Amino acid sequence: MSLLSQPMARWAPFPSMVAVLLMSACGSDEASGPPGNGTLGTSFGIWSPGPNDTCPAAVHDQYAVVGPDGKTYPTWHPPTDPATGCAFGHEHGRDPRGSKLYWLVGPIPFGFANDQLDIWDPSLSRHEDHVGHKVEWENDVRMRLADGAVSEIFEITCDVLTKLHQGTHSPDAFVNNLHELAYHIRCSDGTEMHFTIMAAIGTPGEFVRSCDRNVHVQVGVAQPANSPTGGGRRIIPDRTCIEQDVLVAPGATSNFGSLRESWEISQSLRTADGRRLASINPYYQVRDPSRHHDPALPNVMGRPVDVCFETEANGDIAQGGACDETTAEGTLTSLPHDDPRSAFRGAQRFVDINSNRITNEDGPEIWYTDPFGKNGRTEPFPGSIQQVIAQVNNDIGVLESGPVIGRNRRYYDGGTHSPN
C-alpha cells in the first residue's frame, strides 16, 4: 500500500528538540474507524458532498489524524481520492508530505485551535468550515536581507510549512477576523518555531477594499461578537472594485487583479506578562476568489462568475482572462458559481513569508499559550496549546524577509469548484 493511500498518518517526534513530543501518536493505520481516543473534534465529519462531487462522506472522513488532545480531526487530502478516483470538489493546497518539516511535525489537524478556544473561553467559540483549510510550503528558501552587503556574506535559508483557514467562497471573512493558523519554520541561522493559534486578522466587522486600501468597509457584527482586534488586515474585493476594474467598456480588458484577496497577518507569541517570544507577518493571497462583497445582494455577497455574464446600463462588460474561460469564449450565457468550469475557484494562491523574529534566548523551547498565542507559560492549562520556539535571539540588526512561495502553482483539478 502506498503512502498516499494511507490517510491515517502518525504524528512524529521533533528530533531537533529531542525531549519534546509535539503531538500524540495516533492509532493503528489498519484501524477500521477514525484513529484516536474515540472523541471527535468539532471539525471532523462536517463536510458532505455537493451535486458536483463524486466522493461520499465516508471516503472523505478516512483522511484523519489525532491532535494533541487525543481527538480525531480532518487533515490534508488530495482533491481526487487515489484509491477510488472519486472527486471531493475542493482542495487543501500543496501536499505537505513533500515538506522537510512534515517529518518533524506530522499531519496538520484542521480545527484543533478552534476546539481549544471552546475550552479557554466558550464566549469566543468560533468554528470554521472544512474546505477553507489551505496548506503551503517550500524547502530551502533563501531569505532576503535589507542590507545588500550583509546578504553577500550571510545567507539564511529556511524550510516553511504553513496552513491558514482562508475561505474565499462565503461571506464569513467580511466580518469574521478569527482564522486558524499553523506556522512552522526552521532556518539555517537557528530560527525555528512551530505553533498553532487562532489568528486575529485585522478588525472584526470590517474588511479593507482591495482596489483602494485606504477604505475600510463596515459590514456588521462578527461572530463571536466579542472577537478581539488583531494585527494585519483582510483585503477583499467589493462591488466598487467590480464596477471600477472588471466591468469595462467594450474592447477594453478587465483588470481581474483587482479581485485578489490578501490576508496580511501580524501575530506574536507572548508570555503571561506580555513579553514577546516570537512574531511573524506573512501575507496569504488568493487570485481567484469566488466571492466579492455586494451590500445590494442577499448575504451581502456577489459572485464574480455572475459578473462575467453581466452588462451594465452603459454597456460595460467583463472581458478577457478569467471571464473568457468562464464563458467558454462567450459561448455560455450563464454558469453557477459551483460549476467546475468557473475560473473563480479560490485555488490560485501564494504566500509572502516576510520576517520571523524570535527573542527567546533564555528559553525554554516549550511554551503553552492560550489559543491566541498570549498568556504563555511553561506548564499547560485548560485550553492551552503547546508552542515550540528555538532558544535564540535572531535579531541581527538587519531586517530579513522571506520570498513568495506558491506563486506559480495551481491546486485545482478538473473537479475543483466553489465552495473551495
Q: What is the mean pLDDT of residues 68-77?
A: 96
The C-alpha atoms of residue 350 and residue 414 are separated, in whole angstroms, by 20
Cell numbers 496548506 correspond to what residue?
Answer: 135
Query: pLDDT tens digits for 10-58?
Result: 333 333 332 222 332 233 333 345 566 679 999 999 999 999 999 999 9
Provide the H-helix boundaries in 226-369: 239-241, 304-307, 321-326
416 inside domain:
no
Query: pLDDT tens digits for 353-411?
Result: 999 999 999 999 999 999 999 999 999 999 999 999 999 998 765 556 778 999 999 89
Residue 351 pLDDT > 90: yes
- Residue 301: strand, helix, or coil: strand
Q: Which of 213, 204, 209 is nearest to 237 (CA)?
A: 209
418 inside domain:
no
Contacts of 43 (CB under 8 A, 6+ apart): 73, 74, 110, 111, 114, 115, 127, 128, 130
pLDDT, residue 155, reads 82
Cα 320 to chain centroid distance, Å, stands at 29
Name the pairing type of β-strands 206-209 and 231-236: parallel
The C-alpha atoms of residue 355 and residue 367 are separated, in whole angstroms, by 21
Query: pLDDT tens digits for 194-247?
Result: 999 999 999 999 999 999 999 999 999 999 999 999 999 999 999 999 999 999
CA distances from residue 102 to 11, 106, 241, 404 in whole angstroms, order as listed: 9, 5, 39, 20
pLDDT, residue 114, reads 98
User: Do the Cβ atoms of 11 and 94 come closer than 8 Å?
Assistant: no
Express as a percent the part of the chain with pLDDT over 90.
Answer: 83
Residue 289 pLDDT > 60: yes
Element (H, E) at 200: strand 192-200
19 inside domain:
yes
Q: Which amino acid is at 246?
A: V
341 inside domain:
yes
415 inside domain:
no
The C-alpha atoms of residue 70 and residue 364 are separated, in whole angstroms, by 25
pLDDT, residue 27, reads 30
319 is written with which cell numbers? 472581458
420 inside domain:
no
If one compares 37 and 101, the residue with the highest pLDDT of the two is: 101
412 inside domain:
no
Residue 4 pLDDT > 80: no
Peptide bond into 49 cis (omega under 30): no
Query: pLDDT tens digits for 144-164?
Result: 776 555 555 678 899 999 999
The mean predicted confidence, pLDDT, of the chain is 89
- Residue 28: strand, helix, or coil: coil
Per the structure, how many domains does the chain have?
1
> How many Å is the Cα radius of gyration of the chain?
22
Domain hosting 237: range is 3-405
Query: pLDDT tens digits for 214-226?
Result: 999 999 999 999 9
The C-alpha atoms of residue 181 and residue 190 are separated, in whole angstroms, by 22
187 inside domain:
yes
Q: What is the mean pLDDT of residues 256-274?
A: 97
User: Do the Cβ atoms of 100 and 63 come closer than 8 Å?
Assistant: no
